[in-house]
Amino acid sequence: MAQVKPMRALFLLATLLFVAPVWASTVLVVGDSISAAYGLAEEDGWVQMAEEQLQPLADDEINFVNASISGDTTSGGLARLPEALERFDPDLVVIELGGNDGLRGYSLKKMRENLTEMVEASEASGAEVLILGMQIPTNYGAAYTRRFAEIFQKVADTTGAALVPFMLEPLVADRAYFQSDGIHPSADAQPLLVDHVLPSIKQALKIDAAGAAATTKQRSTQ
């Protein structure tokens, strides 16, 4: 084995001591078909686009983990969240669930409990939380529709999670932004979703126009 000359060894040691550490921030997205890019290539979905747009603005590396499953409900998300938290140790958890609960007429009380537990588990792991709210058609009556929409705000209020009240708000005025099923956003709609959601993600990760500050977990270790 070749020997390292003394002066070179000292230079390498000094480099290791004085080079600033490179941090990595992880964003875990737990959602349904809206975030799983249903009917589209994964790289054309809003999650992938958000990562690509966010990376140049950040001082540290940004990794998005898309743990979204088409057709998933809040019960399914709650069941698989603990393993995802342990595996990825995220700095931010984005919860985009509830739409399928509403479309299937599930208990709104249970939906609220599931979302609350997901937020609390995420916060207990040290992560920030962003809820992406949803609305449903009036098929189930005005009262159910209204109570459904209110759940996301109530969970955010009781847990302190950040909230985007209605994720699909930029799309609803133009049906051309939806696929033929009238439910899932089209490829053309994905940039609008990114523009709508990204400011809240940047705020949660402490990223502004000047770049990214250390995340909550990183600051606590410095």
Active site residues: 33, 181, 184
CB neighbour list of residue 92: distance below 8 Å, 6 or more residues apart? 25, 26, 27, 28, 127, 128, 129, 130, 201, 204, 205, 215
Q: Cα(83)–Cα(94) distance, rounded to whole angstroms? A: 15
End-to-end CA distance of the chain: 37
Length of the chain as a residue count: 222
DSSP 106: -
Q: Cα(77)–Cα(98) distance, rounded to whole angstroms? A: 10
46-54 and 190-204 are packed helices; what angle lies between their axes, rounded to 10 degrees?
50
CB neighbour list of residue 157: distance below 8 Å, 6 or more residues apart? none
